[in-house]
Chain A
Amino acid sequence: MITRETLQKIDSHWAIQAIGDEQLRQSILQYSKAKLVKNAIGGQLSLHLADDFNDEEALKRLAIAYEMVSIEGMHAFINPAGNDELCDQFLAGSRRAFEINRVLATPENDDLKFIFHLLHLSALAYCGDCWTDLKHIYDDSSDKIRKLSSKKKSEWDDRILFGLFTCWVSLFRKNSWKDLNKISNSISLLRKEQQEYEAKYLSASSNSENKIKAMRLMSLYNWAKASELLSLYMLQGAPSDIKVKLDKHFNLAIKISSDGGDVQLEILLRWLHASAERMVSGSIWWVARTINSKATEFIENLSRQAPPLLELLPPQRTALKELGLLDPAKTAVVVDMPTSGGKTLLAQFKMLQAINNFGETNGWVAYIAPTKALVGQIVRRLRKDFSPIGIKVEKLTGAIEIDVLEEDMLNNTDSFDVLVATPEKMQLVLRNHKIKRPLSLLVMDEAHNIEDKRRGLRIELLLATVKQHYQAQANFLLLMPYVENAKTLSRWLAHDRDAGLAISLSTSPWQPNERIIGLVKKKVDGRDWSINYQTLVTSPKTIHLKGRHQIGGVRPIKVPQSGANLSMLVVGCAKAFSDRGTSVVIAKTRPNAWSMARVLCDNMDDLGSISSDIELVQNYLKEEVSPQFELIEMLNKGIGVHHAGLSDEIKSLMEWLVEEGELKILCATTTIAQGINFPVSSVFLQSIEYPYGEKMSYREFWNLAGRAGRVGQDNIGVVGIACDDDKKEKEKGKEKEKEKEIIEFVKKSTGDLTSRLIGILNELESSNELNNLDRMMYASQWEDFRCYIAHLLNEKKELQATLNEMDQMLSNTFGYSELKNINPDQSEQLLNATKKYTESISKNMGTVAQADMTGFSVESVNKAMTEINQLEYKLTASDWMPESLFGSAESKLSDLFSVMFKIEQLNFLPDEKEGRKKARMAGIAQAWIAGATIHDIANDFFDGSGSNEISTAYQTIYGKLANGGTWGLSALSLMSGLDFDAMSDVQKRQLNLMPAMLYHGVKSEESVLMRMNSVPRSVAESMGNNFKQQVEDRNISTARNYLNSLDESGWDLAVLQSQYISGAECKKVWQILSGETGSL
């Protein structure tokens, strides 16, 4: 893969030096970047460059210079025994030559010149690892390409040349399997036409010219054969000696064109030969040909998808072929890759390897994704790719307890090969040894969350748990963007020093697309205003064009100058850029996001005709929320909303609309940085701070900025950060303070990933509290750590044994193992304080066991016990039954919430902790389970049914009830002194299902099964009833089979009570949310 070092090195090549001094070369490159930006987004952004350099001729010379650098290495590249340094030079030179050539004018008026130009440019892109940039180049020229049909040509050589051009456009574009399949048909047709056209072509000239023409034909025939072979290889991965065969025909074609004096054909063929070599090397067949039989089945399936996946992105190819991702000796692999670099596919190969290798022992793979939304996305993707090859993928819900249905699934040895869950949920599974089969691989997606202040320690301790219990057989794969110390992480997790592997590609020059990142400021002009855009120097590198540019026109949003605040600025930017593809607006708060969406609605036209996709989502919202829900109207204008005040399903549907290209603008909050996994065209941020003034981490920002620009669609991704105008800042007496802050923020490198454990210790040290570590360990930020210690103690069952092994067990954490190297004093302090804490909790091993079983800390268990004992009555089994808890007037739910509010770990907000709103929370839970719509809940409990109230209701349900509520109820039921032995099996099952009902907002086991399989809540009960009547053996898997087997009439039956959504629409929503295809 092309490295920054190679790119730097080629700049000292004599050809580049000949162009002029560094300053001149930089001016030329800046000019080319400005042209690129102008071509791509000139309609939205008017450039006012500080540097007026515009020497087009110099630009062309620099393009030749880079091509010279490249062709010096061309022979070495094509020759398998070629010199590596020259190969690198070839690739890097091609890349730079492409970057300039792509901004030079296309010869539209001369067909032959156009053909040679486009094929040459494509070859440069291929050899320079920039082929993802080709799509929009082809899109720009699509009309011209369509017109260049060989059928219109009467001269035989033109007919072949135009025909081969079409074949190579298909090869470079790879739009569909059909396109590629056509290539061998086209070449067969040429063979048939030979008899008809060749004689006439040759007889039309003298003997001498006849021979020359014969030479040209022979060259073209060899090229045709090579093209046919290449297309077949890309489709099927055969013949296996493709490179030898390609070399043979290309070499002949080149030699004959050279002898025949066809200068341009010869040079083009040389370039196509090199790109064919590159195409084969990057094809899934070549990269994966020797992995294992599962991988072969997998890639065969990928190659038949629409659009087909036939080649790997450069970082994927490098990780697999050059950096040893699948090296069986490496037990811990950390992949640091740019956002949108294709990490999931790498994880898939690694999973296939694990499943293949552990097939006999029935091993399983744990896949951990940071949010419920990402769990859903990953499951959909894995099912789509893995189901056809018989690999079973299941997910666990986001509820922090394992219900009886999930328990059934975990105990069934055949139910899954891959299990996807959030860290919190997977922690419960792994810590409590819920699965008896061997864990073969743990994949941790977005593993940089290890440094997250809230959840980082929990994630680190989850990995430590796996190291502790499963290291003998389990391997690790950590996926993350922009992490500089990937190596350290891989060493921590590996069996031994040499078994760690870091694949660091985030800082490699390959990026999904170019990006500009800039400050967005208001420019005041009398009573009018416009938006100024100033690009910034960033790390990682993005395009920087000095000057003050303008986004959109004057007064881009209909508000007076005085009202044009930061929100209006980002809204104006998004509106201007929304024609290019989805623009994401990041608001500071949820109400902000709603109000921005409203402003956009007032300022944008209706979409005209509403697509069936948008209509589907609108009908879903009418059914699930209310026909008056504001978002429905917004969708008429292509505006979506995405934040924590919406259900996971609604968020998934918004994401789906973005992927389908249906949304012009998505208004979101900063929380999207945690979960965004879909590419958009541009991103505009109201601020780089979270609502309470805490700044976004560099890595979060870059993860978000990295989504700007869709691979293969946008050649420039645009990011803007709003900033007060200078005048306003001066008024506040903070001369450009905010601006400086943003400039510095984007300039900073993302740096090493640090353990939260070390972070906490450092914070204590700087506040001089490290000496009180024994005491400080009881603070809430140590909660996860204390749970971990309780778990270690509970596993060992004996204090002394635990203390003896404490050092060794703590070494399983990233933080402690690092501390021992970098700060032995601190590690000693931590060890001592931990031992002391262990001793203190060991006095009541029953509590320790309860803590380990529930996931509560010992302190939370104690608190809960105290609170339960203070209730005026003793809780009985019947109090815990769902119908009593959620349906009766004597429900104890309100009291249970008052207990839960006092347990800090459950994370209810301060006012709720005081217990003031316990009745309301219980009421919401009861209404939710009884099937009330979110609209009614908002009306009844939050004084209105506007978007803000609906958001608050959703936030209460998904943020509190579904997390703290389900976890708390499940834990309290285990601690409340119930005599489980005296309970009937039905009662136990009911008790165990209670939290799941709360989580899903339904009231029966069957409807829980429906919800687990992504059936919309509004039809889950009726669908569950139908399922109950038709299927005897009911579990997650039979529920899925049932849904998959339903035809339209089955869905119609389930929506009989629905007002707004049809059976077919409901089925479609289910397909989108579950990733299933259902019966066709």
Chain B
Amino acid sequence: MVCKGKKEYEERHNGISIFGRSYTDKEIDASAQSIADVCFDSSESKRFADYMGSLSETGFSAIKNTPPNIKDWQVGEGFAEAYITAHFSCSFPWSHNRDLKNPNSSLSGADLVGFYQGKFLFGEVKTSTEGKYPPQVTSKKSDGLNTQLNKLCADHDLRSTLIQYLFHRQKNKDEYKSACKAYLESKNNFYIFGVLVRSVQPNVSDWGYLKKRLQIHDGEKVILVALYLPVNNGIKRLHARVLSKKVKP
């Protein structure tokens, strides 16, 4: 299980719950396996090869490909998911192949799609080592956390797709049904999670931009979490440790 980390701040702003947690290298070591479990899928390579093999029947030529390296932001997402699973009792019905998560695709849905307190949870994760508070990843117009979270709140079609996406992966029918019922019963009856993975000194002003600009549907159902790794390459170290835990196929 991912360690809980040290509480740096906790506050409420217009009903939004904001949490800050910091980690030591030791805690990172202890958490690495849980994060790796989220990030890697042992059978992925074989499936990929099978898919490549199937191309001959489509009339298209084979695709040239090289094996990928996992990126920092992917580890960050794994960390975020593992953390909120462990400490917010969230559940995500599929926890694998984050390594194939598409970065800037307009076809993608959301970084986190799961259940929290009997309701649907939709969330976005950003990783940043930027020394400024708040970091630009929270405010960038095109794909900043602000834009992404607002989109999750406002985009009915996107949420409809995510709910169907969850349906095809549900493991616990009752959990799905109760979240879906709650969603249908009243307006905005779902949770929004925004997670920042940082390797700077913990500071609540990381949320400064979002606190001002987030046009949230219902503050009571918005949770913002910042996970602070040790300064000086904390993210790189996490990356290395997670990679070392990867199970070889």
Q: How far is the CA of A261 from the CA of B96 in the complex (A)?
A: 11
A64 touches B108 (CB 8 A): no
Question: Does A277 sit within 8 A of B, measured CB to CB?
Answer: no
A64 touches B69 (CB 8 A): no
Of the listed stretches A11-19, A802-810, A868-876, chain B binds: A11-19
Cβ proximity bits A199-234 to B, threshold 8 Å, 1 near / 0 not: 100100011111110111110011011001000000
A263 touches B167 (CB 8 A): no
Closest beta carbon of chain A to B174's beta carbon, Å: 11
Cβ proximity bits A563-607 to B, threshold 8 Å, 1 near / 0 not: 000000000000000000000000000000000000000000000
Residues of chain A within 8 A of B110, CB atoms compared? 263
Residues of chain B within 8 A of A261, CB atoms compared? 97, 100-102, 105, 108
Within 8 A of A (CB), among B114-137: none
Question: Does B109 sit within 8 A of A, measured CB to CB?
Answer: yes
B181 touches A15 (CB 8 A): yes
Question: Does A260 sit within 8 A of B, measured CB to CB?
Answer: yes
B185 touches A18 (CB 8 A): yes
Given A112, A188, A221, A264, which contacts B55 in the complex, CB threshold below 8 Å? Answer: A221
Residues of chain B within 8 A of A259, CB atoms compared? 44, 47-48, 51, 97, 100
Residues of chain B within 8 A of A198, CB atoms compared? 63
Residues of chain B within 8 A of A20, CB atoms compared? 185
Residues of chain B within 8 A of A210, CB atoms compared? 65-66, 68
Cβ proximity bits B61-94 to A, threshold 8 Å, 1 near / 0 not: 1011111111100100000000000000000000
Q: How far is the CA of A252 from the CA of B48 in the complex (A)?
A: 11
A112 touches B106 (CB 8 A): yes
Cβ proximity bits A462-483 to B, threshold 8 Å, 1 near / 0 not: 0000000000000000000000
Cβ proximity bits B143-176 to A, threshold 8 Å, 1 near / 0 not: 0000000000000111111111101100000000
Closest beta carbon of chain B to A1015's beta carbon, Å: 55
Q: How far is the CA of A262 from the CA of B64 in the complex (A)?
A: 20
B163 touches A64 (CB 8 A): yes
Given known contacts A264-B107, A265-B107, A64 and B65 CB-to-CB distance under 8 angstroms: no
A67 touches B161 (CB 8 A): no
Closest residue on chain A to residue B177 by CB atoms = A14
Question: Does B212 sit within 8 A of A, measured CB to CB?
Answer: no
B100 touches A264 (CB 8 A): no
A61 touches B184 (CB 8 A): yes
B51 touches A267 (CB 8 A): no
Question: Does A194 sit within 8 A of B, measured CB to CB?
Answer: yes
Question: Does A249 sit within 8 A of B, measured CB to CB?
Answer: yes
Given known contacts A64-B163, A195-B61, A262 and B102 CB-to-CB distance under 8 angstroms: yes
A218 touches B63 (CB 8 A): yes
Given B63, B70, B161, which contacts A217 in the complex, CB threshold below 8 Å? Answer: B63
B162 touches A260 (CB 8 A): no
Residues of chain A within 8 A of B42, CB atoms compared? none
Q: How far is the CA of A270 from the CA of B185 in the complex (A)?
A: 26
Given known contacts A225-B57, A260-B102, A263-B165, A68 and B65 CB-to-CB distance under 8 angstroms: no
Residues of chain A within 8 A of B74, CB atoms compared? 208
Question: Does A399 sit within 8 A of B, measured CB to CB?
Answer: no
Residues of chain A within 8 A of B64, CB atoms compared? 199, 202
B161 touches A214 (CB 8 A): no
Question: Does A48 sit within 8 A of B, measured CB to CB?
Answer: no
Question: Does B26 sit within 8 A of A, measured CB to CB?
Answer: no
Cβ proximity bits A646-674 to B, threshold 8 Å, 1 near / 0 not: 00000000000000000000000000000
A218 touches B51 (CB 8 A): yes
Q: How far is the CA of A716 from the CA of B85 in the complex (A)?
A: 51
Given A195, A212, A256, A262, which contacts B51 in the complex, CB threshold below 8 Å? Answer: A256
A208 touches B70 (CB 8 A): yes
Cβ proximity bits B29-67 to A, threshold 8 Å, 1 near / 0 not: 000000000000000100110011011011111011111
Main secondary structure of the interface of B (DSSP, over half): helix
Residues of chain A within 8 A of B182, CB atoms compared? 18
Residues of chain B within 8 A of A209, CB atoms compared? 68, 102-103
Residues of chain B within 8 A of A215, CB atoms compared? 48, 51, 100
Question: Does B13 sit within 8 A of A, measured CB to CB?
Answer: no
Residues of chain A within 8 A of B164, CB atoms compared? 67, 71, 267, 270
Given known contacts A208-B71, A264-B107, A113 and B157 CB-to-CB distance under 8 angstroms: yes
Residues of chain B within 8 A of A248, CB atoms compared? 57
Residues of chain A within 8 A of B51, CB atoms compared? 215, 218, 252, 255-256, 259
B65 touches A214 (CB 8 A): yes
Given known contacts A113-B157, A261-B100, A266 and B65 CB-to-CB distance under 8 angstroms: no
B180 touches A218 (CB 8 A): no
Closest residue on chain A to residue B104 by CB atoms = A209
Question: Does B248 sit within 8 A of A, measured CB to CB?
Answer: no
Q: How far is the CA of A107 from the CA of B158 in the complex (A)?
A: 12
Given A19, A113, A208, which contacts B185 in the complex, CB threshold below 8 Å? Answer: A19
Q: Which of A20, A68, A194, A256 has the most CB of B within 10 A?
A: A68
Residues of chain B within 8 A of A455, CB atoms compared? none
Q: How far is the CA of A457 from the CA of B182 in the complex (A)?
A: 62
Q: How far is the CA of A605 from the CA of B167 in the complex (A)?
A: 57
Residues of chain B within 8 A of A207, CB atoms compared? 66-69
Q: How far is the CA of A68 from the CA of B156 in the complex (A)?
A: 14
Q: How far is the CA of A117 from the CA of B183 in the complex (A)?
A: 21
A68 touches B167 (CB 8 A): yes
Q: How far is the CA of A916 from the CA of B180 in the complex (A)?
A: 83
Closest residue on chain A to residue B176 by CB atoms = A68
B60 touches A263 (CB 8 A): no
Residues of chain A within 8 A of B187, CB atoms compared? 57-58, 61
Q: How far is the CA of A224 from the CA of B57 in the complex (A)?
A: 11
Closest beta carbon of chain B to A875's beta carbon, Å: 83
Residues of chain B within 8 A of A265, CB atoms compared? 107
Residues of chain A within 8 A of B67, CB atoms compared? 207, 211
Closest beta carbon of chain B to A138's beta carbon, Å: 19
Question: Does A728 sit within 8 A of B, measured CB to CB?
Answer: no
B180 touches A15 (CB 8 A): yes
B68 touches A208 (CB 8 A): yes
Closest residue on chain B to residue A271 by CB atoms = B164
A194 touches B60 (CB 8 A): yes
Question: Does A436 sit within 8 A of B, measured CB to CB?
Answer: no
Residues of chain A within 8 A of B162, CB atoms compared? 263
Q: How far is the CA of A943 from the CA of B200 in the complex (A)?
A: 105
A19 touches B69 (CB 8 A): no
Residues of chain B within 8 A of A18, CB atoms compared? 180-182, 184-185
A71 touches B167 (CB 8 A): yes
A68 touches B163 (CB 8 A): yes
Q: How far is the CA of A57 from the CA of B187 in the complex (A)?
A: 7
Closest beta carbon of chain A to B18's beta carbon, Å: 27
Given B52, B58, B66, B160, which contacts A67 in the complex, CB threshold below 8 Å? Answer: B160
Question: Does A65 sit within 8 A of B, measured CB to CB?
Answer: yes
Question: Does A60 sit within 8 A of B, measured CB to CB?
Answer: yes
Question: Does A775 sit within 8 A of B, measured CB to CB?
Answer: no
Given A71, A199, A206, A262, which contacts B105 in the complex, CB threshold below 8 Å? Answer: A262
B58 touches A263 (CB 8 A): no
Given A61, A107, A216, which contacts B102 in the complex, CB threshold below 8 Å? Answer: A216
Closest beta carbon of chain A to B56's beta carbon, Å: 10
A262 touches B107 (CB 8 A): yes
Known: A19-B184, A64-B160. 5 other contacts (CB 8 A): A72-B167, A207-B68, A208-B99, A209-B103, A262-B102
Q: Which 10 A-B pairs have the closest CB atoms?
A: A263-B109, A208-B68, A18-B184, A225-B58, A18-B181, A221-B60, A211-B68, A221-B58, A262-B107, A261-B102
10 contacting pairs across A/B (C-beta < 8 A): A15-B180, A19-B185, A113-B157, A202-B64, A211-B65, A211-B67, A212-B102, A259-B48, A259-B100, A264-B108
